[in-house]
Structure 1
Amino acid sequence: MRIEDQVAVLMQGTEYGDEEVKKVMRTELHDRLVQAEKENRPLRIYCGYDPTKADLHLGHTVTMRKLQQFQEFGHEVTFLIGDYTALIGDPSDKDVTRPILKEEEIRANANTYAEQAFRILDPKKTIIRYNSEWLSKLNFAEIIRLTQNFTVQQFLSREKFKLRWERGDAVYLHETLYAVMQGYDAYSLKADVQVGGTDQFFNIVTAARKVMTALGAQPNIAICLSILPGTDGVEKMSKSLGNHVPINTTPEDMYGKMMSIPDNCMPVYFRLVTRWTPEKVAEMEKAMQAGSLHPRDAKMALASEVTEAFYGEEKAKAAEQDFVVKFQQKSIPDEMDEFVLTPGQKCLDVLVDAGMVKSRTDGRNMITQNAVKLNEELVTDWNAELSEGVLQVGKRKFVRLVKAK
């Protein structure tokens, strides 16, 4: 593929908050590709993943999909497991201090990451590294020299740190080291390109490029990707918020959750979680805007594409048929009452307050009899907190659960 066409694909879905920065990164990427072609070598690409949780969801795969594109163009991809940076935890998107994980927790989570990543990446073409390889060997004098490249003001001006400072909450010194450590990762890997989300802008664009330059290396190019919204269309996809699409699930569940995303989020999903080219994405958007493509049909195409990428064409088609039978053929009605969830409200309370059961005893009986479902999945714990979606009791009672605005 021509270098210009590679750049178009690789820059799809990127966001820097500043068009000038985006132009600079696009130009640098183009020039680095030209340079690598002259030197007859692939670019060295990496993305780091801190193993803070065992299971990955679709939001985590946005960067993996970009790594896959680099692989398809013949470049060298490193999947970096941040077993050392996980000891701190990235403060970029948190307005509270992250809990420090135990080393055994990190190791256990790390063991599952590569396996899940290979659902997208080619295992034969992917290099797995751990940043403890080099970070554990730094001595105190070397750390001092690295931190000399940064000011306290740079860290306190960051949004989350600034918020905590203004609230009078603690900002711990070890948290400022995270960006420095990530910068040293890029240097140690001799990276041409680092992939990450927009929440990594400071770590990649400021810290990594500064560290690499200070140590005499050519600074890496930042591919910062937009953050994938969850199925609620509002918040960042997160397991804790219940708005995620898990990777370790069934084709039917993945397809169904994809069909629950709001229409206005589809263009973002087109760019971030599909294998579609920029031309295909533009074609889909144009057809939707012209009214020649119904949003429902566009969403079904999106759900099929994502499910097929993980489970293959045959299982994706079966999942689509399962969805059609359950939803489009009226197993679940299109119209139903809404019930606004209260924070901390338990399942049994919802059943009673929404008028789905006559009493708490009746509610317990229905749960025991496997007659209560949320988004087609059985609810077995009457003390569970329910997330948004369709709550069903028996065959005929339905209510749509929504969060308070």
Structure 2
Amino acid sequence: MLKPEAQLKELLKGVEQVISKDNLLKKLVKSYEEKKPLIIKAGFDPSRPDLHLGHAVLLNKLKQFQNFGHKVIFLVGDFTSLIGDPSGRDETRPILTANDIKNNAKTYADQAFKILDKSKTDLKYNSQWLSKLSFQDILHLQSQYTVARMLERDDFQKRFSANKSISLHEFMYPLVQGYDSVAIKADVELGGTDQIFNLLMGRHLQKVFKQEPQVVITLPLLEGLDGVKKMSKSYDNYIALEDKAIDIFGKTMKLSDKLMLRYYELLSDLSVEELKQLKQDMDSGKQHPKTVKLNLATFFVSCFYSKAEAEKARVEFDKIFAKKLLPKDIEQKVYKSATHLSVVDFIASTNLVDSKSEVRRLIKGGGVSFIFEKNTIKIEDEKMQIDLINGKNFVLKIGKRKFLSIKVD
């Protein structure tokens, strides 16, 4: 095991806040001397089925702790998802059903193991202990905090000041997340900067239950592909860990140069000095931004797939975007001959797009084309009607990366 001071230096890279560094060092020293790994916790609510690069920021830090020999707990918040995390929300989250949560959580661990070492990860679900709490236990938890203190958190305060509703069950979220740390006896908890209130609740409740309070480490929120809002499936600005290799590659290549450097900072293994040199090389013209971006896209695909897949994606990207050729292995659907079909209805029926309103938005933005053998037709009128003629096959192109071969039989 690396010496405590050396561990601390590495663990502090890229973090936003540590409460506190002195306590973290003390825990690392004790762990080193007693040869007993620290218990490191991070929770992930399966409110949606995909983990994305924003989650990878946390997962990479968990991986660092693993590499230093500590015990990492990947906590699936299947119970807390029933409440819904109010952090950063200006309204109450829609309540998910137990079935929704179960379906969303099915592949969470497999996605996390694209980064974490499965053999060194303890997978837990917080329903294991939260579902067993009696009403008396819950009353005891609630008695440990006041409404006045709850309203100190920024999101609740804004909603209260704006006369927006705050449901009573939302007050329970930080309490039950905090209780997770008690149940696990966490030494360290990781979370995004928007989680600070919930993380500190863990420290507070551990003191109530006569445990040594956990060290809290917050990490920056990764901006989404738009460079404005945090990465989230809700904002459709994300790169999912389960995305196809070519999609990860293509989405990365859409990043602005400034945002690309931010992704390098939060997600790559480059040192501070190497990042500084990379920026200098770009500014001086020694390295072209596109080359730097290609390297980042290759790095991401290598992490979540393999080096071989990354090289294939790089070649495929060059083929599709640089040389304007069609990708290999396009999925095919067979349609029967038909006349006077609404173009919106037809495209929606392919399931390449989530809804008819999304089809209309794509058409208005020039993002829909029919590619025939000798010509390409860009669809510009949402009221257009089309004929599917036997033997006249074509490729439907949606945006820059979605293709579907249409065979008319």
- State TM-score, norm by structure 1: 0.81
Aligned match of 1:5: 6
Residue 138 of structure 2: which of 128, 143, 154 is its match?
A: 143
CA distance in 2: counterparts of 1:80 and 1:163, whole angstroms: 29
Asked whether the equivalents of residues 13 and 268 of structure 1 are also in contact (C-alpha less than 8 Å), the reply is: no
Matched residue, 1:253: 247
Quote how far apart the aligned CAs of 1:358 are: 6.1
Aligned to 1:110: 105
Structure (1 or 2) with the larger CA radius of gyration: 2
Q: Count how many residue pairs are aligned between Structure 1 and Structure 2.
A: 362
Q: Distance in 1 between matches of 2:185 and 2:166?
A: 31
1:294 aligns with 2:319: no
Q: What are the residue-to-residue correspondences of 1:1-400 with 2, within 5 Å?
A: 1-16=2-17, 22=18, 24-204=19-199, 206-329=200-323, 346-348=358-360, 351=363, 356-357=378-379, 359-360=381-382, 362=384, 364=386, 369-378=394-403
Q: Quick check: 296-305 or 84-93, which moved more? A: 296-305
Q: Percent identity?
A: 38
Which consecutive residues of structure 2, in runs of 5 or more, have no partner in the other structure?
327-355, 368-377
Equivalent AA in structure 1 for residue 202 of structure 2:
A
- Output one character per residue of 1:221-255: Cα deviation in whole Å (capped at 9) or x when no partner: 11211111111111111223221112222211111
Secondary structure in 1 matching 2:105? helix
Deviation per residue, 1:84-117 (Å, 9 max, x gap): 1111011012111112211122222222211211
* C-alpha spacing 1:353/1:244, structure 2 compared with 1 (3 Å): closer
Contact 1:79 1:126 in 2 (8 A): yes
Alpha-carbon distance, 1:220 to partner: 0.7
Q: Which one-letter code corresponds to 1:375 in the other structure? A: K
Q: Residues 330 and 148 from structure 1, CA distance in 2 versus in 1: closer, same or farther, beyond 3 angstroms? A: same
Amino acid at match of 1:39: E
- Code of the residue aligned with 1:262 in structure 2: it is S
Q: Distance in 1 between matches of 2:380 and 2:42?
A: 53
TM-score normalised per structure 2: 0.81
Residues 259 and 299, structure 1, Cα contact 8 Å, conserved in 2: yes
- Cα deviation for residue 350 of structure 1 reads 5.3
Moved more, 185-194 or 263-272: 263-272
Per-residue CA distance 1:258-297 (angstroms, 9 max, x = gap): 1111211223312322244445434434434554333222
Deviation at 1:361, TM superposition (A): 5.6
Distance 2:321 2:119 in 1: 40
Q: What CA distance in whole angstroms lies between the structure 2 residues aligned with 1:31 and 1:291?
A: 45
SS in 2 for 1:233: coil
| Counterpart contact for 1:357–1:363, Cα < 8 Å | no
Q: Give, in whole Å, the separation in 1 of the partners of 2:387 and 2:267.
A: 41
In the superposition, relative to structure 1, how do residues 151 and 269 fare at CA in structure 2: closer, same or farther (>3 Å)?
same
Q: 1:33 corresponds to which letter in structure 2?
A: L
For 2:119, what is the secondary structure of its paired residue? coil
Mapped contact 1:47–1:80 kept (Cα < 8 A): yes
Could you tell me how far apart the structure 1 residues matched to 2:119 and 2:132 are?
A: 29
Q: Is there any run of 5+ residues in structure 1 with no aligned partner, and where? A: 17-21, 333-343, 381-405
- What amino acid is aligned across from residue 152 of structure 1 in structure 2? V
Cα distance in 2 for partners of 1:301, 1:235 equals 24
Measured after TM superposition, the shift of residue 371 of structure 1 is 3.6
Quote the residue 1:384 is aligned against.
none
Q: Which residue identity is paired with 2:4?
A: I
The question of whether the paired residues in 2 share the 8 Å contact of 1:8 and 1:278 is answered with no
Aligned equivalent of 1:394: none
- RMSD across aligned positions (CA): 2.7
Is the 8 Å Cα contact of residues 9 and 277 (structure 1) preserved in structure 2? no
> 1: distance between equivalents of 2:113 and 2:290?
31
